[in-house]
Amino acid sequence: MNERLIQQLQFLDEIEKLKLVYRRNRTVDRSRFENSAEHSWNVALMALVLAEHADTRRLDLLKVVKMLLIHDLVEIHAGDTWIFDEAGAATQAEKETRAARELFGLLPADQAAAFEQLWHEFEARRSAEARFAASIDLLQPLANHLLSGSREDEEIKPTAQAVLARKRPIAESSASLWSVAQSLIERSREQGLYLDEAGTP
């Protein structure tokens, strides 16, 4: 077995750990928390199904899917930060940049550079592909939360307005998906999953 293949297999052994990074959202039967590996599958497939709704006509779909398959790998070292945890977010970027360097660095140099560049492009939303991938990554938890959430779940709920503000980047890549997001947020608010503007459930 050559050195290149050995490096690739070591990387693949390491990324098994993404299955052990748990998120705030639940599975639809509410038996357990969703993990970042199945979330990554979910968004990659969602992108395939919804690609026609991107405002950009000529989207490189393979690039979108690649971004979504790798976008959370840094959490293996840096952990998952809840979208409404502002204190966590402040230190998260630096931790994730270091994690990307270490994790992708397990791969042969050319692949390491390509994956790391792709991850940075996604994080900075620097291309139409990155913006669409980011939109899907923002949309999936909304759909999942409406299916699996309960008004009793969280001690500290965000307001619907705060959720709208966080999800607004969806509008940058797709007018239709932004409508979907708004509708999901409204229906979730009606079910008591978010607080209303006055801060009451």
Binding site for a copy of itself (CB under 8 A): 1, 5, 8-9, 11-13, 15-20, 27-29, 31-32, 34-35, 37-38, 40-42, 44-46, 48-50, 53, 61-62, 65-66, 69-70, 107, 111, 143-144, 147-148, 176, 179-180, 183
Q: Closer CB to a copy of itself, residue 35 or residue 195? A: 35
- Number of residues that make up the chain: 201
Nearest distance from C-beta of residue 17 to a copy of itself, angstroms? 6
Q: How many Å apart are CA 115 and CA 181, to the nearest integer? A: 29
DSSP H helical ranges for the chain: 3-15, 36-50, 61-70, 75-78, 86-104, 109-123, 128-148, 160-167, 175-190
Nearer to a copy of itself, 91 or 191 (CB): 191
Q: Nearer to a copy of itself by C-beta: 91 or 183?
A: 183
Q: Find the largest Cα–Cα distance for the chain.
A: 63
Burial class (CB in 10 A: 0-12, 13-18, 19+), 68: buried
Residue 177: CB minimum distance to a copy of itself, A: 9
Complex with a copy of itself: residue 71 or 195, whichever CB lies closer: 71
